[in-house]
Amino acid sequence: MEMETNNKLLKRRKIRIYIVFGILLVVLGILIYEGLSNSIEYFQTANQAVANRKMLGTSEFRIEGDVIGSTIKRKNSETLFSISSGKTIVPVINNGSPPQLFQPGIPVVLVGHFAEGNGPGGTSLLFISSQIMIKHTNQYIAAHPNRVKIVKT
């Protein structure tokens, strides 16, 4: 009698462990799928993207570059600016407002695609961005509270 309930408990325990393994395997599968389709080439730098412009067409990818300060313009709900990497400059139009830390000179990763149509070089280099992510570097600089803030007008 006691043996029987003991065996039942053991069996239930075994089933429970296999359910846990099953769930973990499914999660691992999802993670590996997302990793293989996103992480291997998480972004292309602006000059890589321009070099691959023909191949990229108007498909969605992530592009990386530094925001050129003098180019930032806000128009209604859109933000216009250019990013650079090396000597390459890519003009960007972003729908919606950028995140808090968006500022001149900061490196950003943009999700979006090149615009259709012809630009000066045959194909348009305008990048239509749906999301701006700020790429913080590993450098930290102490802010000086007494320093006079430069207000750009």
1, 3, 40, 151: residue in contact with another protein (rule CB under 8 A): 40
Distance of CA 39 to the CA centre of its chain: 10
CA trace torsion 130, 68, 89, 61 (10° rounding): -20
109 forms part of the interface with another protein (CB under 8 A): yes
8 forms part of the interface with another protein (CB under 8 A): no
Q: Are strands 127-134 and 88-95 parallel, antiparallel or unpaired?
A: parallel
Distance of CA 113 to the CA centre of its chain: 13
Distance of CA 128 to the CA centre of its chain: 14
31 forms part of the interface with another protein (CB under 8 A): yes
9, 15, 51, 101: residue in contact with another protein (rule CB under 8 A): 101
Query: Would you state the structure tokens that stand for residue 144, as one six-digit string?
Result: 């000086």
d(CA 18, CA 2): 25
* 51-59, 66-74, 79-87, 95-103 -> range binding another protein (CB under 8 A): 95-103
d(CA 98, CA 8): 58
117, 120, 121, 145: residue in contact with another protein (rule CB under 8 A): 145
98 forms part of the interface with another protein (CB under 8 A): yes
9, 15, 24, 51: residue in contact with another protein (rule CB under 8 A): 24
Q: Where does this chain bind another protein (CB under 8 A)?
A: 10, 13-14, 17, 20-21, 24, 27-28, 31-32, 34-35, 37-44, 64, 98-101, 103, 106, 109, 131-145
